[in-house]
Amino acid sequence: EALDLRTRELTGRREAVLGASYRLFYRRPVHLVRGEGAYLWDADGRRYLDAYNNVASLGHCHPAVVAAVTEQMQQLNTHTRYLHERILDYTDELLTTMPPGLDKAMYMCTGSEANDLAIRVAKAYSGGEGMIATTEAYHGTSELTSGVSPALGAGQPIAPTTRLVPAPDAYRLGAPGSAALEAAGRDGVDVGRWFADRVRAAIAGMEADGIKLAGFIADSIFSSDGVLPGPAGCLAEAVEVVHRAGGIVIADEVQPGFGRTGDAFWGFRRHGVVPDVVTLGKPMGNGIPVSGLVAKADVLAAFSDRVPYFNTFGGNPVSMAAAQAVLTTIREEGLQEHSRVVGRELLAELRGLAAAHPSVGDVRGAGLFIGFELVADAELRTPDRDLALAVLEELRERGVLTSVAGPHGNVLKLRPPLAFRTTDIDQLVSALDASLTALGA
């Protein structure tokens, strides 16, 4: 189908003036002009269900954030070298959501900056250089964070001091013929033990290469690795292994944080672990660029006592106003519980599709963060990337926006704003059902 005139004009202008690293979604790119709750509207007035955006976590253009930002912007916006209550009031509230011991906060504008600082802190505290990340991880745009982001592909090699471990993918580990299953025998794979063994081996390999361990960084729902909530608790043993080896554990909460997984406010809490450093981003300001790092005081001190850190926009009153409105709204609207309840209903409905469509290999999730895995052969669990991409296009034509994740790009990532309601389930599930039927899958 030919692109309409306006789409052609806008894509042409992008190509003319923007760097080629920018990639668009969809064969027929979507031109959005407005958002509200879990919905987006294009320039022709067509409404889409947003099943992808965890930044506008409270809902697009949430009035509480708009009001807080507007009010503060009209009064004052400056940086953290002057006294201001907002950063302190916000921090007091943020720290009440953390386990005891995680008691110092710092602020930036992007998840990349938060992870970049976290890695610097890990290196300063441990005296090591080596980082462990998962094989499809994404942690950011800077030199240090892209060094632990194999998801960027061969064009951006990981750092020579980084070692990769496969993410704990319970579906594949349990596949007939998988080495893990054969080794485990009749009892099935202990995913946590399996993962901890990989981390142990990575540390040993690193040391054999003369590299001292600095730390381990992971997003506890392994979003880029294909949305792997794992059995709750499956990170615990790996965290213990890292700690025993003198490494710092960084929980990258950019994706699972702020109530998204339903069971807990922070993703790491589902696994019953206490990291040394927690990084925050995306949903933190519901769209206002604000990110943060929370750390154990002694861990942060190893860096902060020696190195100054100033981030021009980080922690400014307007960003903090947005972040405060987000915390307040999550509490007042009960969004964590909402995510748990609606997420569970959505998961059940999506699992229902598997009965009618043999291409649905696995449906897994925590709260409103769901991975919907498409396979060419259900028995062998062969990833079907082409089908997943075709489904994205079909969904777009049916007014549902989302994207894919995982090493094979065959997992639909369903991660709507938490404003997603029970009444939206039908549209999402019907659109998926119709898309799979249209594709003969």
Query: What residue ranges bind ligand PMP (CB under 6 A)?
Result: 110-112, 115, 138-141, 219, 223, 252, 254-255, 281
Q: At what angle do helices 422-438 and 335-356 cross, to 10 degrees?
A: 30
Closer of 53 and 126 to ligand PMP (Cβ): 53
CA 234/CA 237 separation, integer angstroms: 7
How does DSSP classify residue 37? B
Instruction: Tally the C-alpha atoms within 13 A of residue 125's C-alpha that lie toward its C-beta.
Output: 24
Min. distance of Cβ 111 from ligand PMP in angstroms? Answer: 2
Nearest distance in Å: CB 247, ligand PMP:
19
**End-to-end Cα separation, the chain, in angstroms:** 22
Residue whose pair of structure tokens reads 């997420």 in the numeric block: 343
Smallest separation, CB 14 to ligand PMP (Å): 19
| C-beta of residue 121 within 8 angstroms of C-beta of residue 294 | no
Minimal distance in Å, beta carbon 289 to ligand PMP? Answer: 8
Q: Please, are residues 255 and 238 in contact by the beta-carbon 8 Å criterion?
A: no
Nearest approach, Cβ of residue 410 and ligand PMP (Å): 19
Residue 110 Cβ vs ligand PMP, minimum distance, rounded to whole Å: 3
Tokens at 257, concatenated? 């944080």
Least separation in angstroms between CB 223 and ligand PMP: 6
Long-range contacts of 381-387 (CB under 8 A, 24+ apart): 381/171, 381/172, 381/175, 383/408, 383/409, 383/410, 384/359, 384/410, 385/409, 385/410, 387/359, 387/439, 387/441
For 324, residues 6+ apart whose C-beta sits below 8 A from its C-beta are 68, 86, 89, 90, 93
Select 180 or 254, whichever has its Cβ closest to ligand PMP.
254
- Nearer to ligand PMP (CB atom), residue 324 or residue 403: 403
In angstroms, the CA 227 to CA 372 distance is 9
Name the 3-class secondary structure at 314: coil
Tokens of 262: 């339903």
The backbone torsions φ and ψ at residue 40, rounded to the nearest 5 degrees and listed phi first, read -130, 150
Give the nearest residue (CB) to ligand PMP: 111
Q: Is the alpha carbon torsion for 219, 220, 222, 224 positive or negative?
A: negative
- How far, CA to CA in Å, does 257 sit from each of 51, 134, 329, 392? 17, 19, 15, 25
CB of 314 vs ligand PMP, minimal distance in Å: 12
Least distance to ligand PMP, CB of residue 255, Å: 5
**Choice between 155 and 177, CB closer to ligand PMP:** 155
Tokens for 101, please give them: 């011991």
* Nearest distance from C-beta of residue 365 to ligand PMP, angstroms: 16
How many Cα atoms occupy the beta-carbon half-sphere of 172 within 13 Å?
Answer: 19
Among the listed residues 253, 309, 262, the one whose alpha carbon sits nearest the alpha carbon of residue 282: 253
